[in-house]
Amino acid sequence: AKKADQGESGDIDNPAGVIQITEAKGWQESAYLKWAPFEGASSYNVYVDDKKIDAQLVRQYKSYYRADVLGLKEGTYSVKVVPVNAEGKEIAGANTASNLVVKSYNREGFAHFKYAGVGAYNNDGTLKAGAKVLYITAKTAKTVSTTVNTGKQETITGLQSIIDAYSKGKDKTPIAFRIIGKVNLSDLDHISSSAEGLQIKGAMMNMTFEGVGDDATVYGFGFLLREAESVEFRNFAIMRCLDDAMSLDTDNSHVWIHNMDLFYGKKGSAADQAKGDGTVDIKGDSKYVTVAYNRFWDNGKASMCGMKSET
């Protein structure tokens, strides 16, 4: 399910005088490494095969640092971490973890049937050409912005507002929302579904929601999909959702929900809703959907698949 530091360990050498890497592994279309704080470093640059990764992917925890490299095709990689001083200059002490084996996600499900690239990624695990990447944290969910074609080029601010702009169907630019840490309902700019939470509606979206690392979580809301195509959810947790964690309500297609941790929701009004309603509901002629490699944690109900129209 959500990445829990699984994968194959790479090769680490920690001679004196360099950053001490404590863990380095390849996983599915990603790799990560952890290291101890290094004297004289105010921050760190991380490179995979000499290409610098986004600064948001390098995070500080209580006693260590961690970097995640996303969007990797299957293969073997080296990742280098370089200390940076208070003036923003790289200093001596870099270290490299090598032989990180990265594998592909399983794309055998119906979401991929005669379809190339569900969401923002190609089938080889790399981002689609021209894809946007936006980082969503508790601090940025309201303020994140990008330009969207809504019939004209507009700068749109806020996570739900950006999704709403894509729902107009004019802009099909692939977009990946990378979730870092815990994002609460109160952190969002707004929700377009009062019943479920974030709403994804009405268009071919080419959209991926993915967690960074092993602790990405959304708390207090879920996701509603209606008439949406090419949407992917991976590698994060949904906790205490309003109703359903994932509601694929009407006429969705090519939706891929995988490697998620799905927890129970808030108590509903019905006797069978003590832990929320369905966790992943698929109905209203939604088709070509794959739900795989997820973990369901103490849910009241796992999934409703179909209603009268599908039975």
Tell me which residue range forms the domain holding 209: 110-310
73-77, 261-265, 284-288, range with the lowest pLDDT: 261-265
State yes or no: pLDDT of 231 exceeds 80: yes
CATH of the domain at 279: 2.160.20.10
Based on the domain organization, do 216 and 256 belong to the same domain?
yes
Closest of 41, 101, 46 to residue 69, by C-alpha? 46
For residue 236, the model assigns a pLDDT of 97
What's the structural domain count of the chain? 2
Please enumerate in sequence order all residues whose Cβ is within 8 A of that of 50, keeping only pairs 6 or more positions apart, or say none: 80
pLDDT in tens, 8-38: 899 999 999 999 999 999 999 999 999 999 9
Same-domain pairing of 119 and 92 = no
pLDDT for 143: 99
- Whether residues 70 and 131 share a domain: the answer is no
- CATH code: domain of residue 31: 2.60.40.10
Classify residue 311 as exposed, middle or buried by CB count within 10 Å of its CB (0-12, 13-18, 19+). Answer: exposed
Report yes or no on 3 lying in a domain: no
Average pLDDT over residues 132-151: 98
288 falls within a domain: yes
For the whole model, what pTM was predicted?
A: 0.93
> Do 127 and 96 sit in the same domain of this protein?
no
Q: Mind listing the pLDDT tens digit for each residue in 43-92? A: 999 999 889 999 999 999 999 999 999 999 999 999 999 999 999 999 99
Instruction: Say if residue 73 is in the same domain as residue 116.
Output: no
pLDDT of amino acid 270: 47
- Residue ending a domain, choose from 85, 102, 119: 102
Q: Are residues 119 and 235 in the same domain?
A: yes
Based on the domain organization, do 239 and 298 belong to the same domain? yes
Is the domain of 284 the same as that of 141?
Answer: yes
What kind and span of H or E run contains 229? strand 229-234
pLDDT score at 280: 86
Residues 33/24, Cβ–Cβ less than 8 Å: yes
Domain-located, residue 1: no
Tell me whether strands 153-157 and 197-201 are parallel, antiparallel or unpaired: unpaired
Residue 233 near residue 258 (C-beta atoms within 8 A): yes
Is residue 2 in some structural domain? no
The residue among 74, 102, 130 that closes a domain is 102
Tens of pLDDT, residues 155-195:
999 999 999 999 999 999 999 999 999 999 999 999 999 98
